[in-house]
Amino acid sequence: MTDGQKIWRNMTPEEKGALLLAEHEGKVIEFIGGGVEDWSKAEPKWADWCAYRVRPDRETVTLYGSEDKAFGKCIQHNDTHRITFDTVDGKPDCASIRMERIK
């Protein structure tokens, strides 16, 4: 799984309890897995094959791409640029955007 996260069925009771408490406290729970490739906000259904986390307050996102293709999260052989930015509470921080040529 991404970011060292464990899927639900492999979590300890304490890890599951921490997620359930965070949800009860109104924190945003995100999941990945089951065909979803990026962390996504959803009403948790606690599926055995998905990993879950509390959305971090601040996170750095990096996208790769070229002039003739859309940007994606994984670098491809023909990528020429990298865009990096921070998110705050899940929203892009436009002042943090950095773009650089990689080829």
Tell me the pLDDT of the chain (103 aa) as tens digits.
445 688 999 999 999 999 999 999 999 999 988 777 778 887 768 899 999 999 999 999 888 888 777 777 777 888 889 999 999 988 999 999 999 998 8
Are 67 and 50 part of one and the same domain?
no
Residue 21: which domain range? 2-54
Are 44 and 31 part of one and the same domain?
yes
Q: Is the dihedral of CA 103, 60, 87, 98 positive or negative?
A: negative
- Quote the CA–CA distance of 23 and 26 in Å, as a whole number: 5
Are 31 and 11 part of one and the same domain?
yes
Are 72 and 28 part of one and the same domain?
no
Q: How many CA atoms lie within 13 A of 89 on its CB side?
A: 1
Structure-block tokens of residue 32: 């990945």
Q: Which amino acid belongs to residue 75?
A: I
Give which of 49, 46, 47 is closest to 22, Cα–Cα.
46
* End-to-end Cα spacing for the chain: 29
Are 78 and 65 part of one and the same domain?
yes
Are 23 and 62 part of one and the same domain?
no
Q: Output the pTM of the full model.
A: 0.68
Are 65 and 39 part of one and the same domain?
no
Q: Count the domains in the chain.
A: 2
Are 38 and 68 part of one and the same domain?
no
Q: How many CA atoms lie within 13 A of 78 on its CB side?
A: 6
